[in-house]
Structures are given as C-alpha cells and as structure tokens.
C-alpha cells in the first residue's frame, strides 16, 4: 500500500488509468445489455399482445378484425406511407372497410 505522502510511480498511474478505462467499458457493456434486454422484453410483449388480439378477433368475426388490423397499424405509430408493403396493406384494409 502506498503511503499518502509517497508519490505514485508512472507505472502505478498507468495501471490505475487502465483499470478506470476497463471499469468504464464494463459499465457501458452492462448498460447495453440492460437496454437490449428491455427492448427484447417490449418486443415480446407486443408480439404476445398482437397474437392475443388476433386470436380474439378470429373468435369475434372478420368484420371486426378489419377494424382491429386498422387500429393495430395506427396504434403502432409506424409511418405506413413510407413503406410500400405497409401502404398496400392499409389501402387494402380501407377498401375492405368500405365494402362492409
């Protein structure tokens, strides 16, 4: 142990800085893992909810499922107009809705 009155050697200073950098890297890695875990949990919850809604709507009937598919697209807050596949789905849902 170094006495408070003694100065640190350059080697000791380098080791301390190296340890600080390692600690910071590990802390950042832990934050990333936590963030990824939360994101995966949210995605899993959304998938479960979507599956439950679809199953429920199949029981209720096709007219209601068109409305739910429409509400799911709007509720997802995805800009469907920018994605050509989603745009086609939304437009088809609109056509189906007007025929009901």
21/93: higher pLDDT: 21
* CA-closest candidate to residue 97, choices 73, 74, 64: 64
What predicted TM-score, i.e. pTM, was given to this entire model? Answer: 0.46
What H or E segment, with its residue span, contains residue 11? helix 10-60
pLDDT tens column, 25-81:
999 999 999 999 999 998 888 888 888 877 777 776 655 555 555 566 666 667 767
**Above 60 in pLDDT, residue 23?**
yes
What per-residue string of b and e applies to 62-72 under the rule 16 or more CB within 10 Å gives b?
A: eeebbebbbeb
Sign of the torsion angle spanned by Cα atoms 21, 25, 26, 27: positive
Q: How confident is the model at residue 18 (pLDDT cuts 50, 70, 90)?
A: very high
């Amino acid at each position: 142990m170094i006495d408070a009155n003694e100065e640190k050697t350059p080697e000791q200073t380098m080791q301390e800085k190296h340890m600080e950098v390692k600690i910071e890297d590990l802390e950042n890695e832990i934050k990333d893992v936590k963030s990824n875990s939360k994101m995966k949990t949210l995605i899993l919850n959304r998938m479960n909810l979507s599956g439950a809604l679809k199953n429920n709507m199949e029981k209720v009937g096709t007219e209601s499922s068109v409305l739910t598919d429409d509400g799911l697209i709007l509720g997802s807050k995805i800009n469907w107009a920018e994605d050509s596949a989603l745009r086609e789905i939304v437009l088809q849902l609109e056509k189906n809705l007007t025929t009901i």
